[in-house]
Amino acid sequence: MNKKDIETALDKYFANVSREEFIADLKDAGFTVYKNEETLVRHVQSSYTISSEVMKNLAIDLSMLKETSMISENFEYRYMPKIIYQLQAEFLMSGNIDFLMDKDAA
Amino acid sequence: MIRLEGFHGTRPDRVGSILSEGFKPSVCTKEKQHWLGDGVYFFEKEADAANWVRTYNRSVILCSVINVEEDKLFDLIDDYSHYGIFETVAARIMKEKGKHNLSIDRDNKIDGYVINFICNKVCRLDVIKAGFPFQSSILKEYKNDYGFPVSRLQKIQVQYCVRNSDCIADIKEKVS
């Protein structure tokens, strides 16, 4: 077992693995995996999300978010920035945007 | 072949089945993490097993011999190249999950899952050896006064995770 052999094995694995196979392998190893569209739903439905104005080109219907996720006026969310692009249509409206920033992001 | 000795804390009602049928490996789930992945866990030192038994209200310590081929021991303490392998695989998984537009649950540390991934997809490992760091619980209370931890020193508790149950032999109950 040496690092070079491991790297070769990894290269071979990742060169041939499909997205679905990779997800299955991560789950077999114990990881809890979300496709990003699932992450969005999960985060919106639990707590998370909105903070200041980080992005200006999308809008989120806050009333709907409040209704579906029961967030308070002092909403405090977390999110991965790229997920914003996958917000479901019903959460979007024209106008100003408030964005979601993942507090845990380094 | 390397011969190790390990100590395992358990409940009295489990001793009979362990002695007759062997250990049942712990398996990682979302709710239950096992920091070195799936397997049977042992402490290197009996004193650490005794401490664990006290903390978690168990009362029995079992002692076992662990026989492992040298190239099937993943030694994350004494072999820097093994730690390098762990880093390489962990970093690669984190990079590739981004490429595949995936997220992983952030509530858990990834160590055990990465080790499982290595064993499932990269190479067979029979025993994982690693050191779990503990800060002094006595000195911890001075952290607030000081503003940051008053000591860098940590107690390292060496643990073995045995993935291949054939490595475990000669299980005995310790009599204190």
Q: What is the pLDDT of residues A42-72, one digit of tens each?
A: 443 333 344 334 333 344 444 444 333 333 3
Nearest to B100 by CA among A34, A28, A106: A34
Can you give the pTM of this predicted structure? 0.72
Q: Find out whether A81 and A33 touch, Cβ atoms under 8 Å.
A: no
What proportion of chain B, given as a percentage, has pLDDT over 70? 98
Instruction: Please state, in angstroms and rounded to a whole number, the distance separating the CA atoms of residues B82 and B68.
Output: 16
Judged by a CB distance cut-off of 8 A, whether residue B38 touches chain A is yes
CB contact under 8 A, B97 and A104: no
Residue B149, Cβ density class (10 Å: 0-12 exposed, 13-18 middle, ≥19 buried): middle
Taking the CA atoms of chain A, what radius of gyration do you get in angstroms?
18
The complex scores an ipTM of 0.85
CB contact under 8 A, B122 and A9: yes
Least confidently predicted of B37-51, B68-82, B89-103: B89-103
A98: pLDDT strictly greater than 60: no
CA distance B121 to chain A (A): 8
